[in-house]
Chains A and B, each alone.
Chain A
Amino acid sequence: AQTVTQSQPEMSVQEAETVTLSCTYDTSESDYYLFWYKQPPSRQMILVIRQEAYKQQNATENRFSVNFQKAAKSFSLKISDSQLGDAAMYFCAYGHQGGKLIFGQGTELSVKP
């Protein structure tokens, strides 16, 4: 069975600095998707970034980028120039063939002014 592990329950970053959130996963599939979702205090689930496993190039969305290491089954999220609005719970998720997403336990990110 596929699993997703986020080993950092909490992280903290100074405003304008860079922070990296870690995620590892386990799967026997070769074609899949990986995601980072953000959940602010409003509890809404917001997609931050998506990576297709067949793509070697790391996905980037403005200040958000990933480091996808397929062989190591690692998928970390880097947030550059952190802003107060980035404070939220971040969930790493795995998906395969249009089915359900499997989520990690989340990392609570706080941003210090």
Chain B
Amino acid sequence: DSGVTQTPKHLITATGQRVTLRCSPRSGDLSVYWYQQSLDQGLQFLIQYYNGEERAKGNILERFSAQQFPDLHSELNLSSLELGDSALYFCASSVALAGANTGELFFGEGSRLTVL
């Protein structure tokens, strides 16, 4: 158990709909990262938040947005869903503080999104 909690584990929805994926980081971790893993693909970085602020952005679509709340949990919002958005969405967390960071990311179990 990594200590990172993601909900829901599975989600099936239709094209054009909007969904929200939720992530609770490990206790004490200030950074949250979102990754997308499509079928038989590697992990593509979407976005990083650090203590409530956006820190880095990857190839995240404009239809996708995220935020990190004061209690450090994060949500990834996916809207106007398309078939190609079907994927496993991972949340990861880390301490991300100089001198305290081993560089390792701790991953949740992922949220599997199926768009029909």
Pair B42/A45 contact, Cβ less than 8 Å: no
Pair B102/A50 contact, Cβ less than 8 Å: yes
Q: In the complex, what's the smallest C-beta–C-beta distance from B31 to chain A, in angstroms?
A: 7
Pair B31/A98 contact, Cβ less than 8 Å: yes
Which of B18-26, B62-70, B71-79, B93-101 lies at the binding interface?
B93-101
Residues of B contacting A44 with CB < 8 Å?
2, 107, 109-110
Asked if A99 lies at the interface with its beta carbon under 8 angstroms from chain B, I say: yes
Asked, given contacts A45-B90, A105-B41, A105-B42, whether A99 binds B55 with beta carbons under 8 Å apart, the answer is yes
Residues of B contacting A103 with CB < 8 Å?
42-43
Pair B96/A98 contact, Cβ less than 8 Å: yes
Q: In the complex, what's the smallest C-beta–C-beta distance from B105 to chain A, in angstroms?
A: 5
Name A's interface SS.
loop
Q: In the complex, what's the smallest C-beta–C-beta distance from A94 to chain B, in angstroms?
A: 9
Residues of A contacting B56 with CB < 8 Å?
99-100
Residues of B contacting A104 with CB < 8 Å?
42
Rounded to whole angstroms, the CA-CA distance of A42 and B33 in the bound complex is 20
Chain A residues within 8 Å of chain B by Cβ, number? 23
Pick from A99, A102, A105 the residue with the most CB of B within 10 Å: A99
Q: In the complex, what's the smallest C-beta–C-beta distance from B104 to chain A, in angstroms?
A: 6
Chain B residue with the shortest CB-CB distance to A101: B105
Q: Interface 1/0s, chain B 46-64, versus A by CB < 8 A?
A: 0010000001101000000
Provide a sorted-by-A list of 25 A–B residue pairs whose CB atoms are within 8 angstroms.
A33-B104, A35-B103, A35-B104, A42-B109, A43-B112, A50-B102, A50-B103, A50-B104, A52-B103, A91-B43, A95-B105, A97-B98, A98-B94, A98-B95, A98-B97, A99-B48, A99-B56, A100-B48, A101-B45, A101-B92, A101-B103, A102-B45, A104-B42, A105-B42, A106-B42
Chain B residues engaging chain A, CB cutoff 8 angstroms:
2, 31, 33, 41-43, 45, 48, 55-56, 58, 88, 90, 92, 94-98, 101-105, 107, 109-110, 112
